[in-house]
Structure 1
Amino acid sequence: MTERSGQAGDATGGSVPTTPVCYRHPDRETYVRCTRCNRPICPECMRDASVGHQCPECVSEGRRSVRPARTAFGGGAAGRHGYVTKVLIALNVLMMVLSIASDHGGDAAAGGSGFGGLMGGGTPLTDWGSVLGQAVFPDGTVGGVAEGQWYRLVTAMFLHYGVVHLLLNMWALWVLGRTLEAVLGPLRFLALYLLAGLGGNVAVYLFSPVNQPSAGASTAIFGLFAAIFVIMRRLGRDTSSIVPILVINLIFTFTVPGISIAGHLGGLVVGAVTALVLAYAPRMRRGVFQAAGSAIILVALLGLALVRTGMLTGG
């Protein structure tokens, strides 16, 4: 059978068949057609399909019409690669390197007073970025969150007192973060981490002595502990192995000198509340509910910090 794309008259008044040409390369004859739009396509334009071949435009249109894979809580499937967890660890390590460099040979890496002397001491960088309510510095200036240094509520979750302090938190982040990021997706996991870290630092600002600095990713880590318990329960999975680890960490929180109780408990509570919002959002308009719930938590934390600031400054 001969393909026809038109007819042309011959010298005797009859017609002769013309060979189809690729719609993208008119100089190339072809007998292959796209199984979706039926246009002729040459070998260069063929794209394998489940049945036959398709043209590049039909392949692109099909990709746009396919919904990307989502997790059980509406997050992106890219979370299975753990990119956010790895970036957070890298950022914490970088800040530790900068902290040690800022100390010019002091006790930034180890030899401080905390954790049996294994934790490092303060550095110019931790002095700059740790949670500090209000204090008078050696040069006579006054600083702290109450004096407008609000950035401390965020920077403190990326600073550590020594390498041991850093390693303990990063090991926990590696274990917990990859699991949570895989089931929540990158954006929802990042929101959980930052809200829990901020919640712990706001708790330090509210309940700890105003002139006592505090830093560390453990505010966010305790939030992840609470979140993984909530998420696993929501998925119907066994949580019996999580509870003992959480209890052990709480015992350390209350018994080891130098650990911020307010920071750990604040991160734990905010992490649990955020996880409840993410895990139990209704399927209809789930993304809107999760975003609104997270925004409410953020506004509540900032409101508490404002109230504390007013108490300290008399405003």
Structure 2
Amino acid sequence: MNTPGGWGPPPPGGPGPGVPPQLPSQVCVRHPNRPTALACTRCDRPACPECLRPAAVGQHCVDCVRAGQRDVRPVRTIAGATTRGTFVPYATYVLIAASVIVFAITAAQSSDVMNNQSPSRLFADWALWPRGIAQGEFYRIIGSGFLHFGPIHLAVNMLALYIIGRDVEHILGRSRYVAVYVTALLGGAAGALALQDSLSVTAGASGAIYGLFGAQAIILIRLRQSPGPIFVLIAINVIISVSIPGISLWGHMGGLAAGTAATAGLLFVPGWLGNTGGPSSSSARLIGWGSIAAVAVFALVVIALRTLQLRSEFGYS
């Protein structure tokens, strides 16, 4: 029914014909050209849908979301490493990939997958050969840790690294994990050079992997969990090292001792020295890194002293 003058009420849902809709009088704080009727429920600033995120109550602008994330303290492991929702052990994958690539090169050079060490030039240059160390070829200490005698040796070591390495990397964090791995590698080289025959040739990641076995045992002890399974695994591997000829027992033992000592220093020494700031405090980090460095330096000193003996033994001036 029309009112006098022929005008009626506007139809439900909007203005009448020919009347433009009312635009919001406020604009997004991040996009001044976008009118909006929405606002952040935390700071009350106007924001367009693109700049808002769902929240427990209402919706927050991206600036408030970012500020809230900075205020939240990250969850850390017993070693002070930051934990994430989905952890990817990149360092372990890189170590595995490096060993596989080096093996592929030695197999291609020797034209024999099963007997890749001869006549591969890379294998001859990188293997832990005492006479080469006596001549100053110290790159063999690290390079030998990426060489392997045949595909079975490679597969066994890489499987062990994949299984143990992921867990240790997650707890220690990527940088500390790599530091412990390298320290164990140095310890294995020191053990092989100091206690094996001076004419022997050693290669493989076993020393570093034994170091990760020791690291895993220390982690379990620090978490107050039973280290029994890893102790059994270590015992089985030691028996294998003793029983099968040609396996570098002292290289394994050197790596085990270095990895165990480095991880124990990282996880226990800060507390023994009275650190009360937690594993992520600057003092704990300094003490932990210092402990790893001390073990690495000790291994290097053993290597240096043994090098002097080898130079005398082989008649080098």
TM interval, shorter chain, is: 0.7 to 0.9
Establish whether residue 244 from structure 1 lines up as the match of residue 242 from structure 2. Answer: no
**Contact residue 115 and residue 149 of structure 2 kept, 8 A:** no
**Contact residue 202 and residue 304 of structure 1 kept, 8 A:** yes
Partner Cα distance (1:161, 1:310) in 2: 28
Q: Which residue of 2 aligns with 1:289?
A: 287
Matched residue SS, 2:261: helix
**Contact residue 131 and residue 152 of structure 1 kept, 8 A:** yes
Partner Cα distance (1:302, 1:67) in 2: 39
Q: Which residue of 2 aligns with 1:7?
A: none
Establish whether residue 178 from structure 1 lines up as the match of residue 175 from structure 2. Answer: no
**Contact residue 80 and residue 181 of structure 1 kept, 8 A:** no
Question: Where does structure 1 lack aligned partners over 5 or more consecutive residues?
Answer: 1-17, 113-119, 135-143
Partner Cα distance (2:158, 2:33) in 1: 61
Establish whether residue 215 from structure 1 lines up as the match of residue 213 from structure 2. Answer: no
Aligned residue pairs: how many? 279
Q: Which residue of 2 aligns with 1:116?
A: none
Partner Cα distance (1:82, 1:186) in 2: 8
Partner Cα distance (1:25, 1:184) in 2: 43
**Contact residue 121 and residue 161 of structure 1 kept, 8 A:** no
**Contact residue 32 and residue 41 of structure 1 kept, 8 A:** yes
Shift of 1:111: 5.5
Q: Which residue of 2 aligns with 1:52?
A: 58
Alignment identity in percent?
A: 37
Which ranges of 4 or more aligned residues in structure 1 deviate by more than 6 Å?
none
Shift of 1:182: 2.4
Partner Cα distance (2:212, 2:32) in 1: 60
Equivalent residues in 2 for 1:1-16, closer than 5 Å: none
Question: Where does structure 2 lack aligned partners over 5 or more consecutive residues?
Answer: 1-23, 272-277
- Please, which of 230, 237, 240 is the counterpart of residue 218 of structure 2? 230
Partner Cα distance (2:244, 2:31) in 1: 74
Partner Cα distance (1:146, 1:69) in 2: 48
Name the larger-Rg structure: 2
**Contact residue 186 and residue 300 of structure 2 kept, 8 A:** no
Equivalent residues in 2 for 1:93-112, closer than 5 Å: 93-103=100-110, 105-106=111-112, 109-110=113-114
- Please, which of 70, 74, 83 is the counterpart of residue 90 of structure 2? 83
Equivalent residues in 2 for 1:1-315, closer than 5 Å: 19-77=25-83, 80-103=87-110, 105-106=111-112, 109-110=113-114, 123-134=120-131, 144-280=132-268, 281-282=270-271, 283=278, 284=281, 285-313=283-311
Relative to structure 1, the CA distance from residue 121 to residue 261 in structure 2 (aligned partners, 3 Å threshold; closer, same or farther) is: farther
Q: Which residue of 2 aligns with 1:4?
A: none
Matched residue SS, 2:209: helix
Matched AA of 1:289:
I
Matched AA of 1:91:
A
Shift of 1:57: 2.4
Partner Cα distance (1:163, 1:26) in 2: 64
Give TM-score, length-normalised by structure 2.
0.80
Q: Which residue of 2 aligns with 1:3?
A: none
Give TM-score, length-normalised by structure 1.
0.81
Partner Cα distance (1:189, 1:50) in 2: 38
Q: Which residue of 2 aligns with 1:138?
A: none
Partner Cα distance (1:307, 1:203) in 2: 12
Shift of 1:242: 2.2
Shift of 1:26: 2.5
